Amino acid sequence: MIRYAGHRGGRERVRRWVWRVVAYPAAVASVWLAITWSLRANAEEPRAATPKRPSVTRASSRPSPAVVRRVVADYFSKKDGYERGDLITRRDVQAILKRLRQRGIVPRDAKEILGAALPESHFLVELSKSTQGRRFLRKTKNEELIYDRLDRIAGVPNGQRMLRDLVKLPDAHRYAPIRPARGTPSMLELLPKRGSSRTRTIPNYAKPTGRIYTEADLVKRLRESLR
């Protein structure tokens, strides 16, 4: 019995020694390797590609001025009856803003740009559609601030009536300069006189209105917006 008990005690000590020295470290290493491989597999597993949103070029990205100019020029090159320097309208500007947006170019103040263009119902737009009005505007388009001044005249009492009568004259363009040739009255002098019989005055007559009248005005405004 004593020899048997001693034999069993020795085997138990050996089993414990084997567990402590061999089996336990092996179990720990196995667990560590399993965790390591799991983490590595998760890191290397390809993730589902996130769908990219279409990039939009805003004012901060500074799109090329040449691109903006080309989009504007391309639009007007296809507009029937258009000549450079002609009066443009809000409808034109809306179409161009749409084309720019399709290219990812969105001016930060697109709403204000659209609002600065003349609506189709504006007096000057209607005048430009008549034969006599179009002839007058094309002969005077290079005069200083001509559209700004005509716009201001159209906004005062009897101004529109005076302009309708003016464009009927074969030499109407002679009256368009801010300072016409000597002996030629200015458009302000053609306005109906008031009780004092003095020449009418219009506030800020020789200053820009801030509106967009021409292709050049639009390109300039877009470039300023997209800087």
Report yes or no: 105 and 219 within 8 Å, Cβ to Cβ.
Answer: no
Cα–Cα distance, 129 to 125 (Å, whole number): 7
Range of the domain at 182: 61-225
Show the beta-strand stretches assigned E in 163-205: none
- Reduced to 3 DSSP states, what percent helix, strand and coil does the chain have, rounded to the nearest 5? 60, 5, 40
Q: Indicate the pTM of the whole model.
A: 0.71
Domain identity same for 98 and 179: yes
pLDDT for 99-144, tens place per residue? Answer: 999 999 999 999 999 999 999 999 999 999 999 999 999 999 999 9
- Asked, for residue 27, whether it belongs to a domain, the answer is yes
Split into its structural domains, the chain has a count of 2
pLDDT for 207-222, tens place per residue? Answer: 999 999 999 999 999 9
Domain identity same for 120 and 174: yes
Domain identity same for 12 and 76: no
- Asked, for residue 183, whether it belongs to a domain, the answer is yes
> Residue 54's pLDDT is what?
40
Domain identity same for 71 and 117: yes
Cα–Cα distance, 120 to 94 (Å, whole number): 12
Report yes or no: 165 and 136 within 8 Å, Cβ to Cβ.
Answer: no
Please say if the pLDDT value at position 57 is more than 70.
no
